[in-house]
Structure 1
Amino acid sequence: MKIVHMADSHLGFSAYGRVDRLGRNQREEMIYRGFAETVEKIIKLAPDAVVHAGDVFHHVRPRIRPLVVFKQNLERLIEAGIPVIIISGNHDAPKSYAALSPFTLFEGMEGVHIAHHYLYERFELGGCQFHCIPFCLGPEDYLEEFQKMQKFRMENPSGRDVLVMHGLVEALWDRRLRTVGEHELKESFLKGDLSYIALGHYHGQAQVARNAWYSGSVEYFRFSEAKDDKGILLVDLDSGYVEQIPLMERYMIDPEPVDCVGLSSAEIEELLRRISAEVGIEGKIVRLRLRNLSREAYRSLSQKVIGELKGQALHLEILPEFRDDPASFETEPMDSRELPLEFKRFLEGEAAREGIPASIREEVISYGTDLMSRISERSRTESFDAPQ
Structure 2
Amino acid sequence: MKAFSFVHAADLHLGYSQYGLEVRREDFDKAFTELVDKALQLKPSFLIIAGDLFHNARPSNITLENAIKNFSRLREAGIPVLVVDGSHDSAPNVVTSTILNPLDSAGLIYYLPRHEGACWRKPESCYVYGVPNYRTRRKTEEMLPAFMEQNKPTPDPSLFNIFVFHMALDIPEVNPPYIEAEAPIELIPEGFNYYAAGHVHKPYMGKFKNGLLVYPGSTETINYDEAGNEKGFYYVEVNEKG
TM-score of the superposition, structure 2-length normalised?
A: 0.84
Partner of 1:27: 24
TM-score of the superposition, structure 1-length normalised?
A: 0.54
Q: Within 5 Å, which residues of 2 pair with 1:144-159?
A: 144-147=146-149, 151-153=152-154, 158-159=158-159
Distance 1:134 1:14 in 2: 25
Distance 2:241 2:27 in 1: 33
Partner of 2:166: 166
Partner of 1:143: 145
Partner of 1:268: none
Partner of 1:332: none
Partner of 1:42: 39
Q: Within 5 Å, which residues of 2 pair with 1:1-388?
A: 1-18=4-21, 25-110=22-107, 112-115=109-112, 121-127=118-124, 128-136=126-134, 138-140=139-141, 141-147=143-149, 151-153=152-154, 158-172=158-172, 174-175=175-176, 177-178=178-179, 184-189=182-187, 193-210=191-208, 211-238=212-239
Instruction: Give the direction of change, closer, same or farther, for the CA distance of 1:227–1:14 in structure 2 (3 Å limit).
Output: same
Deviation string 1:309-328 (CA, Å, 9 cap, x unpaired) is xxxxxxxxxxxxxxxxxxxx
SS at match of 2:47: strand
Q: In structure 1, give the amino acid aligned to 2:15.
A: G
Q: In structure 2, give the amino acid aligned to 1:145.
A: F
Deviation string 1:19-59 (CA, Å, 9 cap, x unpaired) is xxxxxx11111111111011101111111000000001001
Instruction: Give the direction of change, closer, same or farther, for the CA distance of 1:44–1:121 in structure 2 (3 Å limit).
Output: same
Deviation string 1:267-300 (CA, Å, 9 cap, x unpaired) is xxxxxxxxxxxxxxxxxxxxxxxxxxxxxxxxxx
Distance 1:153 1:222 in 2: 38
Partner of 1:305: none
- How big is the alpha-carbon RMSD for the aligned residues of Structure 1 and Structure 2? 2.7
Q: In structure 2, give the amino acid aligned to 1:73.
A: N
SS at match of 1:16: helix
Distance 1:174 1:207 in 2: 13
1:104, distance to aligned residue in structure 2 (A):
2.1
Distance 2:38 2:20 in 1: 29
Distance 1:189 1:198 in 2: 15
Q: In structure 1, give the amino acid aligned to 2:19.
A: Y
Q: In structure 1, give the amino acid aligned to 2:219.
A: V
Deviation string 1:105-155 (CA, Å, 9 cap, x unpaired) is 212334631135599611112432110102136112123334556x4427x
Distance 1:158 1:97 in 2: 38
Q: Which sits farther off after the overlay, 110-119 or 84-93? A: 110-119
Distance 2:93 2:177 in 1: 23
Distance 1:45 1:122 in 2: 24
Identify the structure with the greater helix proportion. 1
Matched positions, count: 230
1:199, distance to aligned residue in structure 2 (A):
0.2
Q: Which sits farther off after the overlay, 202-211 or 66-75? A: 202-211
1:223, distance to aligned residue in structure 2 (A):
1.6
SS at match of 2:74: helix
Instruction: Give the direction of change, closer, same or farther, for the CA distance of 1:101–1:110 in structure 2 (3 Å limit).
Output: closer
Instruction: Give the direction of change, closer, same or farther, for the CA distance of 1:93–1:80 in structure 2 (3 Å limit).
Output: same
Distance 2:187 2:147 in 1: 11
Deviation string 1:155-214 (CA, Å, 9 cap, x unpaired) is x65522111001101014751545xxx661222355563121100100001014341100
Q: In structure 2, give the amino acid aligned to 1:70.
A: A
Q: In structure 1, give the amino acid aligned to 2:159.
A: G
Instruction: Give the direction of change, closer, same or farther, for the CA distance of 1:221–1:152 in structure 2 (3 Å limit).
Output: closer
Instruction: Give the direction of change, closer, same or farther, for the CA distance of 1:17–1:96 in structure 2 (3 Å limit).
Output: closer
Contact 2:170-2:181 within 8 A present in 1 as well: no
Q: In structure 2, give the amino acid aligned to 1:221.
A: I
Contact 1:101-1:116 within 8 A present in 2 as well: no
Distance 1:190 1:238 in 2: 25
Higher relative contact order (CA 8 A, sep 6+): 2
Q: In structure 1, give the amino acid aligned to 2:55.
A: H
Distance 1:48 1:61 in 2: 29
Unpaired runs of 5+ residues, structure 1, are: 19-24, 242-388
Distance 2:109 2:158 in 1: 22
Unpaired runs of 5+ residues, structure 2, are: none
